Structures are given as C-alpha cells and as structure tokens.
Amino acid sequence: MNIVKMAFGVVIVALLVMTSLNNSGKVDFNFQPLMARAVNQPAALMYFGFFGIGLITGAVLSLGNKKQKS
C-alpha cells in the first residue's frame, strides 16, 4: 500500500511541476473575505501555494485516525 501512495505522490508532484512550467503568466487572485485587494502573481506560484495548502490540510485531517491496540 505504501508503494501505491508513493507512486500517487510522485504523479501529483510531476503534474504540479508540468503545470507550473507551462503556466508562467501572471493571474489575479481575489478572495474578498480575507483580502481587501487582488493579488497579482505568476500562476506557477499560485499552483504551488494551493498544492501546499492541500497537502497540509490532508495531513491535518488524517491525524488522529489511528486506532489504539487493546
């Protein structure tokens, strides 16, 4: 099972790298509840940031799922 998880992770990172290399133009990111004005950054940085946020979210959500042995 760990091999499958590792292969999945490698595929996702490869897709992230390919997406970042092919989308180097600047984009606007608007999120009105938290930011008063738009952020204008390269798309590659946005992809990387969202990937990092998703990775951290998945790690936090998977915490505490271990069952104790009796």
Residue 70 has pLDDT above 80, yes or no: no
Query: Which residues have C-beta within 8 Å of that of residue 48, sequence separation ≥ 6?
Result: 16, 20
Question: Is 0.85 topped by the overall pTM?
Answer: no
DSSP letter assigned to residue 23: -
- State the Cα–Cα distance between residues 70 and 64, nearest whole angstrom: 17
45-56 core/surface letters (b: 16 or more CB in 10 A; e: else): ebbeeebeeeee
Kindly give the residue spans of alpha helices, DSSP state H, lying in the chain.
2-22, 43-62
Model confidence at 68: pLDDT above 70: no
Q: Give tens-digit pLDDT for 2-47.
A: 888 888 888 988 888 888 788 778 888 888 888 889 888 888 888 8
Does the structure show a pLDDT above 80 at 52?
A: yes
